[in-house]
Amino acid sequence: MARLLLSTVAAAVAAAAAAAFAPQGPCDIYAADKAPCVAAHSLVRALYGAFDGPLYQVNRTSDGALLDVGVLAAGGFADAAAQDAFCGPNACVVQRIYDQSPNANHLDVAPGGGHVPRGDQPVNATRHAIQISGHKVYGAFFEGGQGYRIDATKGVATGNDPETLLMVTSGTHWNSGCCFDYGNAETNNNDDGKATMECVYYGNSTSTGRGAGSGPWVMADLEQGLWAGAERVNPGNTPVLFPFVTAMVKGGSNGFALKAGDATQAGGLMTKYDGPRPTNYQPMKKQGAIILGIGGDNSDLSVGVFYEGLITAGVYVTPSCLHASACLVAVLFAWGWLT
């Protein structure tokens, strides 16, 4: 009996030690901060330390066969070798980007909308290969006319509820087309007026708002306006031109913040704006759909690259990371590139 008790205690201690040193993903950090991920999408890695499911699905266009691309190990990088073996010399497209959160907010190829009635095209699954910490992975390379969407979601903010929207993208592939967005949009695929969207945008569109210089900028797409701040021009929102860009919108109940940084470096994000929303955008009227690479009404002229993104419930930040967001960024974006 004593030996059994001792072995039970030892097993419990070993389990506790393993848990203490288990890898943490960004969604684990947000959950501990009482702002859990309600959606978590990535083609490159798990966003939870324990996640071992599929990241995305590829379609081999020659015969329509499908493959779910998972991770090499729980909490790890994408199994690009499995994709390569499946696709070979054949054309493959990304059919679905799985939500790693419990909400199953998976992104499928977007249907038509009020601005572009035809449905969008999927991205080429093999167009953009990169290396992260010695691992080959793929990003979603948007070339115009491509987009993903889910209208019936679970857990995503509606009305004036707060949320955080975060995307890792490329600082070398962008344009001024509308709109390379990731985030919260209309559930009917139409333009429903100001304040019915809240997405993080990256590009150099000047159709409504802009930052300093010629861009590109991290801005918020709030519908009928891309905003670099509360005014049409925000000189404090300077261009963001890192090869790999962290782009964030923190949508509070009474205002919003725009943050950006170098996705290959641990440390704080730069605040590009933090203050009230533009006139006629408060309170928000969010509807809770999720879009990627397009505007809320299926405007699909933008180009860009999507590596990963997440949406949380709330905008909390742990006290030790209040100013620099250092503990989040260290885990979330220090990928150990290069090329």
CA distance 80 to 191: 37
Whether 221 sits among the annotated catalytic residues: the reply is no
* E-state strands within 114-221: 129-132, 135-138, 140-143, 148-150, 163-170, 181-185, 198-203, 217-221
Residue tagged active-site, from 223, 262, 300, 308:
223
**Is the pLDDT at 5 greater than 70, yes or no?**
no
Residue tagged active-site, from 221, 297, 300, 308:
297
Whether 108 sits among the annotated catalytic residues: the reply is no
Q: Which two tokens stand for residue 152?
A: 């019936």
Inter-residue contact 155 to 149 (CB < 8 Å): no
**Is the pLDDT at 135 greater than 50, yes or no?**
yes
Among 22-26, 74-78, 84-88, 181-185, the range scoring the smallest mean pLDDT is 22-26
**Is the pLDDT at 73 greater than 60, yes or no?**
yes
Q: Which two tokens stand for residue 225?
A: 């306006």
Inter-residue contact 276 to 291 (CB < 8 Å): no
Mean pLDDT, residues 303-308: 98
**Is the pLDDT at 336 greater than 50, yes or no?**
no
**Is the pLDDT at 3 greater than 50, yes or no?**
no
Helix (H, G, I), strand (E, B) or coil at 92: strand
Q: Give the model confidence (pLDDT) of 188-236 as tens digits.
A: 999 999 999 999 999 999 999 999 999 999 999 999 999 999 999 999 9
Output the pLDDT for position 56.
Answer: 99
- Side-chain half-sphere CA neighbours of 339 within 13 A: 0
Mean pLDDT, residues 91-108: 98
Ordered structural domains, the chain, with CATH: 24-333 (2.60.120.200)
**Is the pLDDT at 325 greater than 60, yes or no?**
no
**Is the pLDDT at 323 greater than 80, yes or no?**
no
Burial of 46 (0-12, 13-18, 19+ CB in 10 A): buried
**Is the pLDDT at 15 greater than 80, yes or no?**
no
